[in-house]
Amino acid sequence: MTRHAITESRRRSLGAIALLLAATPAFGQSAPATVVSLPELLQASPASDWRKLDPADTLYLELPTGRAIIELASAYAPRNAAAMRALVRESYFDGSFIVRAQDNYVVQWSRLEDDERAKQMTAKKLAPAFARPIAGAPAFTRLPYPDTYAAEVGFAAGFPAARERRRNETWLVHCYGMVGVGRDNAADSGNGSELYAVIGHSPRHLDRNITLVGRVVQGIELLSVLPRGAGPLGFYEKAAERTPISRARMASDVPPAERSELEALRTDSKTFRALVESRANRREEWFKEAAGRIGVCNVPLPVRKAQAPARP
């Protein structure tokens, strides 16, 4: 027994990657028996398979332990993203708190209930974005494997998503790290002033019931390790247990020197298709039987520090 337990351990040279990329135009086909690690695959990817995060859609949450970075899903929840952006610019979340951490479920943040600004938000309504029409939606990279909850699952604009053509609807799904707009019983009672992030097995029963507005693309581990609240639903019972959010800002409002410049792998790229194929068919020596398939919430969505452009 060594530190290789529960992981791949055999890696091949980078030379095999071009072959893999070339040989996997679609999922479900038999693929070459090359073994390429995820880091190798990403390292070999062309710059054009990556997109820089839009600073206007990038939210920084400054926590005592560091910065958590959320990408907003403007193509799926434009009004909710805009409402959040406006709240952030009004410094609404500066001095807010993680008020809830429920194990295997969510962490949630907001201003405190007895706070004057929070009270003003209580009655504020906003049309939800549980789903949107397929027409006009970002390109959908479909997974050809069955899903428990939806007719079709895949990825769009970097987010895990689902769709149902009969209803002409597509929606984001509750995978690990997804961020949603907390609401009360009324569908329009979520207004962006209370947000949650998924920190456990994907609670897919929430899909189409609550507005997903983004994804934690860096720093989810700053949220997932927070002590669980002892109160009902994981709410903290003592003020001292709450983690303060000292500041929340849109990246576009942050001086360039203080920004975390990130880029995400395009989910409609060739590299992403190769990634899905290689994760559905694990060929590393450690694996004795590849699944031959992969769940939508098991596919990694790589994000990395933005690379310097190549010299002309």
Q: Which stretch binds a copy of itself (CB under 8 A): 69-77, 84-92, 118-126, 238-246?
A: 118-126
Q: Scanning residues 131 to 150, which ones bind a copy of itself (CB under 8 A)?
A: 145-149
Regarding 130 and contact with a copy of itself (CB under 8 A), the answer is yes
Q: What per-residue string of b and e applies to 12-40 under the rule 16 or more CB within 10 Å gives b? A: eeeebbeebbeebeebeeebeebbbbeeb
From the list 191, 193, 305, the residue with the least C-alpha distance to 245 is 193
- Could you tell me which residues come within 8 angstroms of residue 92 by beta carbon, excluding any fewer than 6 positions away? 111, 117, 193, 248
Binding mask 184-203 for a copy of itself (x = CB under 8 A): xx-x-xxx-xx-x---xxxx
How far is 179 from 121, CA to CA, in rounded Å? 19
The minimum distance between CB 56 and a copy of itself, in angstroms, equals 25
How far is 20 from 275, CA to CA, in rounded Å? 10
Regarding 43 and contact with a copy of itself (CB under 8 A), the answer is no
Regarding 259 and contact with a copy of itself (CB under 8 A), the answer is no
Q: Pick the closer one to a copy of itself by CB: 46 or 300.
A: 300
Member of 166, 205, 238, 311 binding a copy of itself (CB under 8 A): 205
Regarding 177 and contact with a copy of itself (CB under 8 A), the answer is yes
Regarding 242 and contact with a copy of itself (CB under 8 A), the answer is no
Member of 90, 103, 253, 258 binding a copy of itself (CB under 8 A): 103
Alpha-helical regions (H) of the chain: 15-23, 38-43, 78-89, 116-121, 220-224, 270-280
From the list 59, 110, 52, the residue with the least C-alpha distance to 213 is 59
Regarding 11 and contact with a copy of itself (CB under 8 A), the answer is no
Q: Pick the closer one to a copy of itself by CB: 49 or 215.
A: 215
Q: Which stretch binds a copy of itself (CB under 8 A): 28-36, 48-56, 72-80, 224-232?
A: 224-232
Regarding 288 and contact with a copy of itself (CB under 8 A), the answer is yes
Q: Which stretch binds a copy of itself (CB under 8 A): 21-29, 68-76, 110-118, 132-140?
A: 110-118
Beta bridge partners of 152: 163
Alpha-carbon dihedral of residues 240, 244, 246, 250, nearest 10 degrees? -170
Member of 12, 79, 142, 279 binding a copy of itself (CB under 8 A): 279
Q: Are 251 and 60 in contact (CB under 8 A)?
A: yes
Regarding 297 and contact with a copy of itself (CB under 8 A), the answer is yes
Regarding 58 and contact with a copy of itself (CB under 8 A), the answer is no
Beta strand pairing status for 66-72 and 58-63? antiparallel
The minimum distance between CB 154 and a copy of itself, in angstroms, equals 13
Q: How far is CA 56 from CA 52, 86, 111, 263, in A?
A: 11, 11, 23, 14
Q: Which stretch binds a copy of itself (CB under 8 A): 18-26, 82-90, 242-250, 290-298?
A: 290-298
Member of 59, 226, 250, 264 binding a copy of itself (CB under 8 A): 226
Q: What is the Cα Rg of the chain in Å?
A: 20
Regarding 122 and contact with a copy of itself (CB under 8 A), the answer is yes
Directed axis angle between helix 270-280 and helix 15-23, to 10°? 100
**How many binding residues for a copy of itself (CB under 8 A)?**
73
Regarding 228 and contact with a copy of itself (CB under 8 A), the answer is yes
